[in-house]
Structure 1
Amino acid sequence: MRDKGVYYDQEINSVFEKLGVSESGLSSQEAEERLKKYGENELEEKEKISILRLFISQFTSILIVILIIASIISVLLGELIDAAVILFTVFLAGILSFVQEYQAEKAIELLRSLTSPEATVIRDGVEKEIPSKKLVPGDIILLQTGDRIPADARVIKGFNLKTDESSLTGESVPVQKSTEVLPSETPESDRVNMVYTGTSVAYGRGSAIVTTTGMNTTFGELAGLLGTIERARTPLQESLDKFGRWIGAATLIIVAFVAMLGVFYGFPLLDMFLWGVALAVAAIPEALPAVVTVGLGLGVRRMVKRHALVRKLPSVETLGATNVICSDKTGTLTQNKMTVERICVNEQILKITGAGYSPEGEFFKGNVKVTGDELHLQTLLLGAVLCNDADFFKENEKWEIKGDPTEAALVVAAAKAGLRKVELDQKYSRLGEIPFSSERKRMTTFNKLEIESESFPVKGLIAFSKGAPEVILGSCTKIFLDGEIKALSPEINKLIAEKVREMADQALRVMALSFCPLDEDLFLEKTSSGEIPSEEIEKDMAFLGLMGMRDPPREEVKIAIQKCADAGIKTVMITGDHKITASAIAKELGILKENDLTLTGSELDNLGDAEFEEKVERISVYARVYPTHKLRVIDAFKKKGYVVAMTGDGVNDAPALKAADMGIAMGITGTDVSKEASSMILTDDNFASIVAAVEEGRNIFKNIRNFITYGLSAHSGEVFIVLISILGWQILPLLAVQILWINLITDGLPPMALSVEPPDNGIMRQKPRNVEEGLITRREITAGLGLGGLIALQALIVLTWAVDSGFPLEKLQTLIFTLVVFSEMFNAFNWRSDRYSIFSLGLFTNKPLVYAVLITIILQLMVIYVPFLQTAFRTVPLSLSEWGVVLALASTTLISMELVKYFSRKSSPGKNPGKTNSDHIYDF
C-alpha cells in the first residue's frame, strides 16, 4: 500500500528531509540504489508468457494434436517411419512458428520501449531527460504545460500550475496547484499540493518531488483494482484471423470430402486420415498472423531509422491510405533554427548579422553600426530576455538551445548586444508569469527591476509581454518613443502595422513586445490566491518594438512535398504566422500553387460549414489559426472522404491529433499530451520524415498483401492438385509427410524474406490505397487462386506424363512433390512486387529472399538424395531429363506472371500507375 498522509501535510523542508534529498536532486548513485529498492516506475502488466510456454503453445492447435495422435496410431500399427517423419515435421513447424511468434513479441516490446515517455529531472544538480520508468521516490521533476505527470509527487514550486485530473476524477476543469501545507484530514481529491501519475499539466509550470512510483501511486492502485492490463489484438490481426478461419472452414469441407472419396476409391482408411489431416494443416494459414506481426514489427523498426515512430501497429494500415497531410510550419516544414534578422524600435529598422544560435553578430541601421547599449534597443532586448523561458549553450563546440526555438532566437539576439539571460534572471527575479497559450498568443512575466540608470523608462515591478503583433498592439495604449512613454496615436499604430506587413512580406515571423509598471503591493495582494488576473494586468501597456525572425525552409521538404504531389497526397500548411509570411513560405516550398487559397483563422470563422466544405480542397494554407480550427479542417476533409494526417505539438493540439485518421506529434518540441494523443511521433520534427513514413507504410502493406497472396497460391495449389488427381485418376499424388514438408519449407523462410522487400521506385507514384478496401480483396484472392490453379495444372501435366510413361507411384509422387516446391520458389520471386518485373527490380536487391530460396532448394535436394530421408519421405532420385521437365514447368509460374505484368502495362500505357482497383490484379 502507498504511504498515505505523510507528504501533503508536511512543510517542503520536512518532505526533503524525509525523502533524503536536497534541491540539487538525487545523485546518480543514489538513484540507482533506490531503483533497485523500489523497482521501475511502471504499472504491472499481465504476466508474460515464458519462452517454454510459448514453445509448448505451438503444439496445442487441434490439427497439430490430431497429427500427434496420428503418429501414435502409426507406431501402434508398426509404421515407425511414417510416425517419425510426422513428428519431425510437426516439431520443425513448431520451431518455425515459435521463432515467428517470438520475433513478433520482440518487435512489440521494442515498439513499447521506443514509445516509453520521458521525464525532466534534476540529478547531480543538473537537468536531465530520463525514461519515466527510471524515476524513484526523491527525484525532483520539472513540469510545464503539456507534460504527462510520470509519478505521484509533492509540489515544490508552481507558477500558475494547473493540472488536468480528469483521468482520475472525471472532472474536466483543471485543478489549480499550490505549495501550501494542508491539514492531515484533507481528502485525496482535495490535496492541491500533490500531482498524480496519469494526469497532465494543463497550464503553467513548476517542480515537484516524487513521493511514490509504479503500482504504489494512486493510478497504480486503480489499475490493481481493475486487474492486470490486457494487450489488445490489432485490427489487422483480427482481419487475418477471420481470413484464416474462412479459408480453414472451406478447406476442411473440401479435405473431408476428398478423404471420404479416397476411402470410397479403396485407399486405406489410416492413409486417408493421415493425408486429410496433413492437407488440412498445409491448407490453413495458421502462422499468418505471426508472420504479419513480424512484418509489421520489422517495418516499424525501419520507420524508426527514418525518424518516424509508430505508436500503434494498426496505424501502419492508415499510412498507406493517407491522402491529405496537414502540417504545422515551424520546425516541421522549416529548419527550426530561428534567427532574428530585423528589429523595429523607436521608429527605426535595424538589421542584425549572424545566423543560427551563435551569439556572434552586430546591429546596423542602414550601413551604420549601432551599439548594443542604445536605450530603446536595450529596453526591447531586456524585455525579450526576461519574458522568456528558453536559453542557449555551447556543447561539443556547437551552439545548442534549451526550450522553444522562437524564444531562443530572441535570447541569442540579446546576447549579441551583451545581455546574457543567466545573469539577467539572477539580477531581476521573476515574481510570476502568465504562460503563453495558443489561444492567448502572448506571454507575460513580472520582474522586479532595480536599475540605477535615470534614463531607463521604468523601475520596480514590471510586466513584460511578448506575442503576436495584433495581440500586443491591441493591449497597448502607449509607446516607448524618443526616450519617453507617450500615447499611442492612430497614426503610429498604423505605421507599426505597416512595418509588420513589410517584415511579413520578407517571410519574417514577427514578434511584438510591450511593458508596463505595476504596483507591487497590489500585485501581490491580487495574486496571493495563485490566480493572476490577466485581463487587469495585460492592458494599458506601452509598445516596445518588433523583432522579425526567419526560420529557413528545410531543403529536403521541397522534395518531400513534390513526392506527396506525385503520390496523390495533398499537403496543407497550418501556422500561427501572419498570412503574408505563411503564403511566402508556402510558395517557396511548392505547397501554395496557382489558384490555391490562403485562409486566416478569422476568415475561417466567418465561413459556414457547407461553404467551407465546398472550398476546403482548394485551401492550401491556414494562417493565424488556433488549434480548434484544426478540428474543422479535419472534419471538412473527412466528410469529403479523405484520410487525414495532422501534425501537432501543443496540449491544445491533442483533440485534433485524436480526431485525425493519423495524428502525428513532434518528438522534439511536442508535449507529452500531444504524444499520448498521437498515432505516430516524428523524432526529428521533420515533414520529410512523414513522407518517408508514408512510403514505408505503403511498402509494409504491399509486402503483407504480397506474402498473403503467395501463401494463398501455395495452399490452394496443393488442394487443387489432390482434389483433381483423386477425382480424375484415383491417384494420391502426394503423401501426408510430403504435404507437411511442403507446408514447412514453403511457408517458412520465403514469406519472412518477402516481408523485408524494400519499397519499389514507383510506390510513391501510386495513388493512396482506398481506405474502404480491405486487406484481402478480390484482387488478392483472384491472384492467389489463379496461381494455385497454374501450379495444379503443372502437376497434372507431370501426372499425365508419368502415368503414360508407366512410372512407378513413388517416382510420380517424387516428381509432383519436387515440382510443387520449385514452383513455389519461382512464385516467391513473383510476389516481390505485384506490379513490376523481377528484372526491373533486380534479382539480388532482396538478398534474404535469395538465401531463403537457396536454403529451401538445398533441403529439398536432401530429401530426394540423402538415403535415410528418401526412406522417410518415400522419394526416389530423379534423372537429368526428369529435372528438365520439373524445372521447365515450375518456371512457368514466374514466366506467366511476367507476361501478365508486361501485357497489362502494354494494354494501358496511359493509365495512372497509382489508381486502385480491386477488379484488376495488376494496375499500371
Structure 2
Amino acid sequence: MGGMITLYENFDNSENSINGTLKLFSEADIKTVFMTLETSLGGIKNEEAISRLEKFGLNEISKEKVKPWYIQLLLAFLNPFNFILGTLAFVSLFTDVIFVKETERSWISIILIITMILISSLIKFIQEYRSSKTAEKLKNLIVTKVTVVRDNLPMEIDIKTLVPGDIVKLTAGDIVPGDIRIVSSKDLFISQSVLTGESNPVEKYSNLLVKAGAISDLSNIVLMGTNVLSGAATGIVLGTGKHTFLNTISESLKSTKVETSFEKGIDDVSRLLIKFMIFMVPIVFLINGYLKDAWFESLLFSLSVAIGLTPEMLPMIVTGNLTKGAIELSKKKTIVKKLDSIHNFGAMNILCTDKTGTLTQDKVTVVKYLNFKGIDDDNVLYLAYLNSYFQTGLKNLMDRAILEFEEEHYSIKNEYKKIDELPFDFERRRMSVIVEDSDENRTMITKGAIEEMLYISNFVEIDGQVFEIKDEIEEKIKNLVSNLNEDGMRVIGIGKKTLPKDRDLNFSNKDEESLTFVGMLGFLDPPKEGVGDTLKSLYQYGVDVKILTGDNELVTQKICKDIGIEVTGAIDGSYMEAIDDLELKKLLKDTTIFCKLSPLDKARVVRLLKEMGNTVGYMGDGINDAPALRQCDVGISVENGMDIAKESAQIILLEKELSVLLEGVIIGRKIFTNMIKYLKMTASSNFGNVFSVVLASAFLPFLPMLPIQILFQNLLYDISQISIPWDNVDTEDILKPKNWSAESVGKFMVYIGPLSSIFDIITFLIMFYIFKANSPATQALFHTGWFIESILSQTLIIHLIRTRKIPFIESNANIKVILLTSAIMIFALFVPYSKINGTLGFVPMPISYFIWVVLILTGYFFTIIFAKKYFIKKFNSWL
C-alpha cells in the first residue's frame, strides 16, 4: 500500500472497493497502516484534519438529502389536482380561444385556472419547505461527540468532522464513528446487529489478522454504525462517510425499514378513500354521459368530482401539524428527530421507563460501606475507591459517587498502579481491576451485583481474617442487603483476590473466581419531587407506566411506594427466562415492575406489549436500553445519554423529566386530533357531495355543476382548512390515546356525510321549483345557488366537526380558523357579483335566495348537532 493520496486516488466507493481496502488494512501490520494513512499514535495535526475534511467530506453516510427549494417547488406543482386543472386549461384554450371568432375570444378561464394552480401549489410548497427546514434545524441540535487524539492531545470533536488517519478512543456506550483498525484493545465487545442482525456481541482484538472472511468477521476491524458494549480500545480511522462499509449497504438498510403505526394508519385511511373514489366516480360518469349524451363533458365533470373526493391537502395538513408540534416541543426542551414520531408520542398508551434518573433524582450518594458484621468499614470503601479510580470503561453514577465520597471524606492517596482490568458487561454484572503495590504484590479488586459477587466468592473477610463462606454466612449477607434494599438503597458487593507475582499478564473473566467477599456499599438515589403528581397525570391521560430496571425488586418497590405508584405486580429477569412468550403476555397487563432485567429482557417486554396491540414508548439513556429503544413505537432518550441510546431514539429530551415527557404526550395528541379533524371533515363532506351529485345527475337536464366550478369550490374549501394545524383542541379529545383507524373514518363518512345531501337536495328543489332554474338556459342560476349553499355548508362543517361540543357556544375555534373560514364564506358570496362570475359560469342571485340559504344552514346546523349526540352515544367517540 502506498501513501494516503495514492490509496484513495481512484477510489470509487463501491462495495468491492471498500471491502478490498478493509481486508488489506486488516492484513497489514500496524506500522504499515500508520505509514499509509500518514499518521501516528499522537494523531494528525489540526491543519491536516481540516485539509482532509475538505478532501473526504463530512463523516455522514449517504442519505436522502433535503431537496433544494426549486425541486420542492417543482414537485409541489406535480399532483393530480394540477393535472386536471391543466387539462381543463388545455381544453379551454380550444373552446375559448382557438375555435372561436376573434371578437369572442376570452383568456379569462385560462388565467383563472392558472391562478388556481399557482395558489394551491404555492401553499403546499411553503408548508413543506418550512417543514423540511424545521426538521433539519432540530436534527442539528443533537450533536454526537467522539474522542480523538490530535497534536498529541485528546479532545472531543463532532463526529461529522472525523477524518481518515484520526486516532480514536473507544469506550463502552460509544457508536463506532467510522471504519477503524484497532491499535490496542482490552476486552472489546462490539454489537454488530445493525449490520448483521446478529444479537450476540463479537470480541475484537488488535492482533494481526491471519485469514480474512466476511467484512464483519475481521477481528481487528470495527465498522461504522456498530456500538461498543464493553471494554475499551484505541484505533486508527480508515474510512469515514461515503468511504465506509455502512455506506455501501445503506440503501439495503433503508429498504428494510419497518413501517410505523403512523405510516400504516395513513395508508389504511388513504386506501379507504381511494376505494370510495374508484367506486363512485365511474357511476357519476356513466349517469351523466348516458342521460345527457355529453360524454366528453361528463368525463371532465367526473374527473373534477374525483379531484373533489381526493383529500389532496392531507400531506400539507399532516406536515403542517407535525412541524408545528416539533417547534412546540423544541420550546419545551424536547427535540424530535423524526416528525412521524410525534403521532406515536401522543398515541402511546404504555410508557416503559427505567427507575434511575426518571423516578429518582439521578444523584447517587454513598450512605453505607459495611463489612460482614454490618458495621461501617473504611477498608470496604478503600477497595471500592481503587476499583472505580482505575477503571477506564464507562463510569456509572455509583462509580462517580464512590470517587466523590472517598475524596471528600478521606482523600486517600493512590498507593497502587494498575496492571489490567476486566470491563463491566451486562451478563456478568461486575467489573474488576488488577493492581500492584510498591512490593509488586498483585490484587484483583472486583465490584458488582450482590448475587454475582456471592456466586464467585468462596471466602469472606471478618475482622481481618478470612473464612470459608458457609450457608449461614451467605444468609446473613443476604439479610443485610435486604434490609438496605427495603430502605431504598441500591447495594453492590466488594471482593478481592491475591494473585501470584509470577503469573502472566493475560487476565480474563475466568480469573474472577474464589474471591474473598469484603463487604458492601449502599447508595441512595432519592425520589424526584413532583414525579408522583406527573405519574398521576399520565394515568389520567391513559398512559400506563411500567418500570423496567436492572435493580432489584425491594429497592424499586420502595421508590414506587415513596412516590405513590400503585404496584400491581412484579417479576424479575430470571423468572421471565423460565417462561415462554404466551405465558409472559398473560402477566404483562397486571405487572408494574420488571426488575433485574438484561438488555434483551427489556426488548422482549416491549415487543410483547406491542404484539398485544399497545402503542409502547420506552424511555432510556444507557447502553442496556438500546435494544428496547429500537423495538418500541417511540424511543425517548436524553441529551446526556449514551450515544447508542440517542441514536436509537426518535425523541430526545433536554431534561430527563417525566413532566417534560407529559407535555410531549399532550402536544402529540393535539397534533393527531387536528389531523383527524381534517380527514373526517373532508371524508364526510366529500361523501355527501358525491351522493348529491349522483342524485342531481339523475333528474337534472344539465350537469349539477360545471367542472371548473367544482374545482374552484374545492380550492376554496381546501384553503379554508389551512389553519387547522393551529386550531384549539378540547381537553376531552386528548384524555385518551388514539391511533389512525380506517374503520373510524368509514363510520364517520357513512353516518355524517349523507346528512349534507339532505340539505343539498332541498337546495336543488328550491332552485328547480321556486327559482325555476330547471332548463339548460337557466342552469347558471342553479349552479350559482348550489355553489353558494355548498361552500357555506362545507365551511360551516369545519366548526361543527372540530369539536364534540356545541360550536360558538361551548367550544370556539382558534382565531386563525375563524378568520380564514369567515373570509372564504364572504368571498364565496361575493364571487357571483364579481367580474369573474361570467368566466366561472355564475350569475347574481336574487335577494330572496339568501333567506332560503339561512334557513337551510340553520337546519343543517341543528341536524348535525343532534346527529353528533347520537353518534357519540352509539360509538363513544367523535374525533
Give the structure-1-normalised TM-score.
0.80
Counterpart of 1:534? 509
Q: Structure 2 matches for 1:112-123, cutoff 5 A? A: 119-121=146-148
Counterpart of 1:817? 787
Counterparts in 2 of 1:90 and 1:640: CA distance versus 1, 3 Å:
closer
C-alpha deviation, 1:237, in angstroms: 4.4
| Alpha-carbon distance between aligned partners in 2 of 1:673 and 1:348, rounded to the nearest angstrom | 39
Counterpart of 2:812? 843
Counterpart of 1:36? 54
| Alpha-carbon distance between aligned partners in 1 of 2:524 and 2:846, rounded to the nearest angstrom | 76
Among 455, 458, 464, the residue aligned to 1:474? 455
Give the partner amino acid of 1:868. Answer: K
SS at match of 2:533: helix
Counterpart of 2:308? 282
Counterparts in 2 of 1:20 and 1:605: CA distance versus 1, 3 Å:
closer
Counterpart of 2:434? 446
| Alpha-carbon distance between aligned partners in 2 of 1:231 and 1:628, rounded to the nearest angstrom | 21
Give the partner amino acid of 2:448. Answer: G
Give the partner amino acid of 1:435. Answer: P
Deviation digits for residues 531-586 of structure 1 (CA, Å, limit 9, x no counterpart): x4323x22232333322222223344323322343344432222222321111112
Among 461, 483, 486, the residue aligned to 1:502? 483
| Alpha-carbon distance between aligned partners in 1 of 2:402 and 2:380, rounded to the nearest angstrom | 16
Among 570, 577, 581, the residue aligned to 1:598? 570
Counterpart of 2:745? 777
Counterparts in 2 of 1:817 and 1:636: CA distance versus 1, 3 Å:
closer
SS at match of 1:700: helix
Counterparts in 2 of 1:746 and 1:640: CA distance versus 1, 3 Å:
closer
Counterpart of 1:760? 730
- Mean alpha-carbon deviation: is it higher for 5-14 or for 284-293? 5-14
Among 68, 76, 88, the residue aligned to 2:98? 76
| Alpha-carbon distance between aligned partners in 2 of 1:555 and 1:330, rounded to the nearest angstrom | 14
- Contact kept in structure 2, 1:380 and 1:545, CA below 8 Å: no
C-alpha deviation, 1:170, in angstroms: 7.4
| Alpha-carbon distance between aligned partners in 2 of 1:257 and 1:726, rounded to the nearest angstrom | 10
RMSD: 4.2
| Alpha-carbon distance between aligned partners in 2 of 1:94 and 1:512, rounded to the nearest angstrom | 67
Q: Structure 2 matches for 1:140-219, cutoff 5 A? A: 140-165=167-192, 174-180=201-207, 191-219=218-246
- Contact kept in structure 1, 2:347 and 2:615, CA below 8 Å: yes
Q: Structure 2 matches for 1:715-794, cutoff 5 A? A: 715-730=686-701, 732-750=703-721, 752-757=722-727, 759-766=729-736, 768-769=737-738, 773-774=741-742, 777-789=745-757, 792-793=760-761
C-alpha deviation, 1:231, in angstroms: 8.8
- Contact kept in structure 1, 2:446 and 2:496, CA below 8 Å: yes
C-alpha deviation, 1:160, in angstroms: 0.8
- Contact kept in structure 1, 2:493 and 2:521, CA below 8 Å: yes
- Mean alpha-carbon deviation: is it higher for 405-414 or for 604-613? 604-613
Q: Structure 2 matches for 1:602-681, cutoff 5 A? A: 602-605=574-577, 612-630=584-602, 633-634=605-606, 637=609, 641-651=613-623, 653-660=625-632, 662=633, 664-668=635-639, 671-674=642-645
Counterparts in 2 of 1:656 and 1:48: CA distance versus 1, 3 Å:
closer
Q: Does 1:252 align with 2:281?
A: yes
Q: Does 1:868 align with 2:838?
A: no
Give the partner amino acid of 1:664. Answer: G
Deviation digits for residues 214-237 of structure 1 (CA, Å, limit 9, x no counterpart): 22223334558x799799984344
Q: Does 1:552 align with 2:526?
A: yes
| Alpha-carbon distance between aligned partners in 1 of 2:136 and 2:208, rounded to the nearest angstrom | 42
Instruction: Report how many aligned residue pairs link the two structures.
Output: 846
Counterpart of 1:355? none
C-alpha deviation, 1:715, in angstroms: 2.7
C-alpha deviation, 1:434, in angstroms: 1.9
| Alpha-carbon distance between aligned partners in 1 of 2:819 and 2:39, rounded to the nearest angstrom | 58
Deviation digits for residues 346-391 of structure 1 (CA, Å, limit 9, x no counterpart): 74555xxxxxxxxxxxxxx9xxxxxxxx55544443344335756x
- Contact kept in structure 1, 2:457 and 2:515, CA below 8 Å: yes
SS at match of 1:868: coil
C-alpha deviation, 1:94, in angstroms: 3.1
C-alpha deviation, 1:151, in angstroms: 0.9
Counterpart of 1:335? 361
Q: Structure 2 matches for 1:557-572, cutoff 5 A? A: 557-572=531-546
Counterparts in 2 of 1:823 and 1:23: CA distance versus 1, 3 Å:
farther
- Mean alpha-carbon deviation: is it higher for 556-565 or for 169-178? 169-178
Among 326, 333, 338, the residue aligned to 2:352? 326
| Alpha-carbon distance between aligned partners in 1 of 2:35 and 2:63, rounded to the nearest angstrom | 33
C-alpha deviation, 1:648, in angstroms: 4.7
| Alpha-carbon distance between aligned partners in 1 of 2:254 and 2:462, rounded to the nearest angstrom | 66
Among 383, 386, 407, the residue aligned to 1:415? 407
Among 694, 704, 707, the residue aligned to 2:678? 707
Give the structure-2-normalised TM-score.
0.83
Give the partner amino acid of 2:385. Answer: L
| Alpha-carbon distance between aligned partners in 1 of 2:208 and 2:575, rounded to the nearest angstrom | 49
C-alpha deviation, 1:414, in angstroms: 1.8
C-alpha deviation, 1:325, in angstroms: 3.0
- Contact kept in structure 2, 1:553 and 1:589, CA below 8 Å: yes
Among 341, 344, 354, the residue aligned to 2:370? 344
Deviation digits for residues 832-888 of structure 1 (CA, Å, limit 9, x no counterpart): 33x3444577525x34423432453464466345x4333433445567765565455
C-alpha deviation, 1:294, in angstroms: 4.0
SS at match of 2:592: strand
Among 826, 833, 844, the residue aligned to 2:796? 826
Counterparts in 2 of 1:460 and 1:715: CA distance versus 1, 3 Å:
same
Counterpart of 2:4? none
| Alpha-carbon distance between aligned partners in 1 of 2:668 and 2:150, rounded to the nearest angstrom | 40
Counterparts in 2 of 1:450 and 1:838: CA distance versus 1, 3 Å:
farther
Deviation digits for residues 244-281 of structure 1 (CA, Å, limit 9, x no counterpart): 422331342133134315634xxx77755554443332
Q: Structure 2 matches for 1:367-386, cutoff 5 A? A: 377-386=381-390
Give the partner amino acid of 1:44. Answer: S
- Contact kept in structure 1, 2:683 and 2:745, CA below 8 Å: no
Counterpart of 1:397? none
Give the partner amino acid of 1:278. Answer: S
C-alpha deviation, 1:729, in angstroms: 4.4
- Contact kept in structure 1, 2:346 and 2:664, CA below 8 Å: no
Q: Does 1:128 align with 2:156?
A: yes
Among 551, 554, 578, the residue aligned to 2:552? 578
| Alpha-carbon distance between aligned partners in 1 of 2:487 and 2:203, rounded to the nearest angstrom | 42
| Alpha-carbon distance between aligned partners in 2 of 1:43 and 1:115, rounded to the nearest angstrom | 17
SS at match of 1:497: helix
Give the partner amino acid of 1:73. Answer: F
SS at match of 2:554: helix
- Contact kept in structure 1, 2:272 and 2:742, CA below 8 Å: no
**Gaps in structure 1 of 5+ consecutive residues:** 351-364, 366-373, 391-402, 452-458, 909-916
- Mean alpha-carbon deviation: is it higher for 253-262 or for 798-807? 798-807
- Mean alpha-carbon deviation: is it higher for 849-858 or for 335-344? 849-858
Identity of aligned residues (%): 25
